[in-house]
Amino acid sequence: MTEKRTPPDGFVPACPVPIPDYPRVTLAHGGGGRLMHDLIERMFVELLDNELLGQRHDGAVVPPVPGSGRIAITTDSYVVSPLFFPGGDIGSMAVYGTVNDLSMCAAHPSALTLGLILEEGLEMELLWRIVQSIAAACRRAGVVIATGDTKVVEHGSCDGIYINTAGIGTVPDGLDPPSPRRVRPGDSIVLSGDLGRHGIAVMAARQGIRFDSPVRSDLAPLNGMVSALIERGIELHCLRDLTRGGLGSALNEIATAGITLTVDEALIPISEPVRGACEILGFDPLYVANEGRFIAIVPESAAEDCVRTIGSFEDGREARVVGRAIEGRPLVTMKSMIGPERVLDMLSGEQLPRIC
Amino acid sequence: MKFVDEYRSGEAATAYAEALHDISTSDWTIMEVCGGQTHAIVRFGIDRLLPGCITLVHGPGCPVCVTPVSLIDKAIEIAASPGAVLCSFGDMLRVPGSSRDLFSARAEGGDVRTVYSPMDALDIARQEPESRVVFFAVGFETTAPVTAAAVLTARREKLLNFSLLVAHVRVPPAMEAVLSSPDNRVQGFLAAGHVCTVMGYGEYGPIASRFGVPIVVTGFEPLDILQGIHMCVLQLEKGVAGVENQYGRAVRPEGNPAARALMDRAFVTVDRAWRGLGGIPRSGLGLRPELSGFDAEEHFGKARAELDDVTAGSCLSGLVLRGAIQPADCPSFGRACTPEHPLGAPMVSSEGACAAYYRYGRNREEEHD
């Protein structure tokens, strides 16, 4: 149940950028000719090669996995600014984000596609670092890039680099896929860790806000934890990763299936720097983005086992039960820090920094 | 988190609530002035801990909410002017003017930038000498000293491309306006703690005696507010009306003399229209005549002078802002008026009472019950 370790941030292997003649991406690198071929062979294949990518097709034929007849499929696009932030970068985000979406279907992620939209003028060294990060993230999550596509757009048409990844995973036979419709009154809501670190880390990097102890994104693959839960035989009624919109939005989306969910504010872990930043900026950490957190809604009898299983992972050591499902209308309520209960609604619009 | 956690203790909150149940014998209506306090009350459910005889009503202390439509229209006009950069706090951007908001002005090509401080706007003026940089100076006495520092710095550095569209307002005249209103029901005030960190509370004594209302300078955490209410109710039950300071860890009687001196060097008291409340004498701050070169209204033309009223016919935000009704009593609340489609400013700003009620789900409670 141990995880693969990744090199620390900023780790740059000694090997130099393999496209020495071009310090920046040009339109010709997406033109289909020799420059594009060089880019693919010397950068992408060099770092990402595997049996599927080795087929050198625009598509890949993936062999079946015995005992897992059903396929889960997802896609997501990544447009983060800045491209590198404490705890991650757009490359690792593009891998883990899609891996996590598959994991929330209780699927074992196996292969991703990689679509890159590059802005003319993007530094080749930056692209090299991003592809290295993609390769490292794939190794950590145990997935491969099966096929890809590269486009270059004119300078000013995109913000450096946009990435799309689609992914497939296999669902073990006999496993009932988790879904909001399966949540039952009495179920426990297990949260895998503290909230808000990704949103605050990116916001701080973007705005140049500094902390005494820097906030690192919680970006991480969740498939290890979910596989462990499946192996333990824990009945997973619902799984949801907490991305944009945070815990508050995720709970509301689940509740719309026709149940009341209630959480206890005092039980929700939020780190000191994140709480401080939210207090200052006027954000509610319950709605701030995460990239490596999820909730598992499980029968009350399985809650303790669920917490222990998630807690055995480094990224899950703060896992705990934060609430439960109760009979009622589609609604989320929260017991406030000082006792009274209130509705925890969907966030309206964007969180804007407030005046005073 | 130090200085926060100890003011959010559930046990202590319960103890205060019990004490309030013990001392309250009559119906009392208390207004918290500041939008930050309103926000905390609804977020933590402080009003739900109180005995039924105590009603909290929410005051006009949301600077975004009370900024008059004429000044918002002026800001939009400035944003559309060639070479102009309109700098504003974020939550001002969605407040509807007479026909649109600053977000729309930006979408139509106006240069509108969100800043966290007037000093950020000053930096823009330094870095872009070709631009005419205007800071939309919104806020109570809390933010006015920083605006003053910015304009005085601009004068010292001869940054002639920097100017202010001043919408600063003062709290005490608004409290008097609330108390003078024919439909007033406010019997005691929780004064805005952060305003008093700057101004002190010397201005409140005359108001307390003239109108016979206790005024308690109060902080923003749940226990601050509960203690402020407790102090206020003790006075009401005794039949006295004095000024007390609950927020002693931040507020001195004289406030912050350095900040006040800065304000005095930059501003004079002027009459100002408040959105939803109308004109209030001596309730605003305007630039001193010797700083008129930094007054955006000198460069871009004066804002309309008429007294403002609320935007839409079915919006009762004027009544909400002076505590005559609660947000949920407005027929538009949560139906025609939501944060996505606000009819009035208190639904836009995160400090607005209507937005606080909406954000913390009070519009959905009937279905819960």
pLDDT along chain B (369 residues), means of 10: 81 94 97 94 94 95 90 96 95 87 93 94 97 97 97 97 97 95 94 96 97 97 97 98 97 97 98 88 96 97 71 77 90 89 83 90 68
| pLDDT per position as a tens digit, A216-241 | 999 999 999 999 999 999 999 999 99
Tell me, what's the pLDDT at A355?
47
DSSP reduced 3-state for B303: coil
Amino acid at B85: V
- DSSP secondary structure of A186-227: T-EEEE-S---HHHHHHHHHHHT---SSPPPP-----HHHHH
CB atoms within 10 A of CB A211: 15
- Yes or no, beta carbons of A331 and B367 under 8 Å apart: yes
- Yes or no, beta carbons of A349 and B339 under 8 Å apart: yes
Residue B217 pairs with which residues in a beta bridge?
B191, B245
Q: What whole-number percentage of chain A has pLDDT above 90?
A: 76
Residue B166 pairs with which residues in a beta bridge?
B137
Specify the pairing of strand A238-241 against strand A294-298: antiparallel
- DSSP class of residue B90 equals G
What distance in Å separates residue B281's CA from the closest CA in chain A?
24
Q: Among B42, B63, B350, select the one facing A352 at the smallest CB separation.
A: B350
Tell me which residues of chain A have a pLDDT lower than 70: 1-15, 348-356
- Yes or no, beta carbons of A345 and B338 under 8 Å apart: no
Q: Note the CATH number of domain A27-171.
A: 3.30.1330.10
Give domain limits for chain B: 1-360
Tell me, what's the pLDDT at A283?
87
Yes or no: say if A353 and B91 are a contact pair by the CB < 8 Å rule.
yes
B194 touches A: beta carbon within 8 Å? yes
Tell me how far apart the 2 most distant CA atoms of chain B are, in Å. 65
- Yes or no, beta carbons of B361 and A329 under 8 Å apart: no
Nearest CA in chain A to B352: A354
C-alpha span between B64 and B286 (Å, rounded): 17
- DSSP secondary structure of A63-110: PPBTTB-EEEEEEEEE--SSSEETTEEHHHHHHHHHHHHHHTTT-EEE
- Yes or no, beta carbons of A343 and B361 under 8 Å apart: yes
Token output for B23: 């001392």
B279 touches A: beta carbon within 8 Å? no
Helix (H) or strand (E) holding B259: helix B257-266
Q: Is A328 exposed, middle or buried (0-12, 13-18, 19+ CB in 10 A)?
A: middle
- Output phi, psi for A68, to 5 deg: -140, 80
C-alpha span between B10 and A156 (Å, rounded): 53
Report the residue of A259, A271, A336, A346 to disrupt the B interface, i.e. the one with the largest count of B CBs within 10 Å. Answer: A336
The matching CATH number, chosen from 3.90.650.10, 3.40.640.10, 3.90.700.10, 3.40.50.2020, for A180-343 is: 3.90.650.10
A282 touches B: beta carbon within 8 Å? yes
Token output for B338: 């939501």
Residue ranges of B 293-322 with Cβ closer than 8 A to chain A:
none
Measured between beta carbons, which residues in chain A are less than 8 angstroms from residue B33? none
The pTM of the full predicted model, rounded to 2 decimals, is 0.85
ipTM: 0.79
Residue ranges of B 333-352 with Cβ closer than 8 A to chain A:
338-340, 349-351
- DSSP secondary structure of B113-154: EE-SSHHHHHHHHHH-TTSEEEEEE--STTTHHHHHHHHHHH
Yes or no: say if A86 and A205 are a contact pair by the CB < 8 Å rule.
yes
Specify the pairing of strand B278-287 against strand B267-274: antiparallel
Beta strand extents in B1-127 (DSSP E only): 28-34, 54-61, 84-88, 112-114
Measured between beta carbons, which residues in chain B are less than 8 angstroms from residue A352? 90-91, 93-94, 114, 350
Token output for B202: 């010397």
Residue ranges of B 25-54 with Cβ closer than 8 A to chain A:
36, 42-46, 48-49
CB atoms within 10 A of CB A185: 11
**Which residues, 6 or more positions from A182, have their beta carbon under 8 angstroms from its beta carbon?**
A176, A237, A238
Angle between helices B257-266 and B144-156 (to 10 degrees): 60
- Yes or no, beta carbons of B4 and A340 under 8 Å apart: no
Measured between beta carbons, which residues in chain A are less than 8 angstroms from residue B340? 348-349
**Which residues, 6 or more positions from B82, have their beta carbon under 8 angstroms from its beta carbon?**
none
Give domain limits for chain A: 27-171, 180-343
C-alpha span between A92 and A105 (Å, rounded): 20
Measured between beta carbons, which residues in chain A are less than 8 angstroms from residue B142? 356
Q: How many CB pairs under 8 A join A and B?
A: 106
The architecture (CATH level 2) of B1-360 comes to 3-Layer(aba) Sandwich (3.40)
C-alpha span between B81 and B354 (Å, rounded): 33
What distance in Å separates residue A287's CA from the closest CA in chain B?
12
Measured between beta carbons, which residues in chain B are less than 8 angstroms from residue A337? 8, 10, 44, 222
DSSP reduced 3-state for B343: coil
Token output for A221: 């693959």
Measured between beta carbons, which residues in chain A are less than 8 angstroms from residue B197? none
Nearest CA in chain A to B117: A355
CA A356 to chain centre: 33
What distance in Å separates residue A196's CA from the closest CA in chain B?
16
Nearest CA in chain A to B65: A355
Tell me, what's the pLDDT at A14?
52
The C-alpha angle A310, A312, A313, rounded to 5 degrees, equals: 75
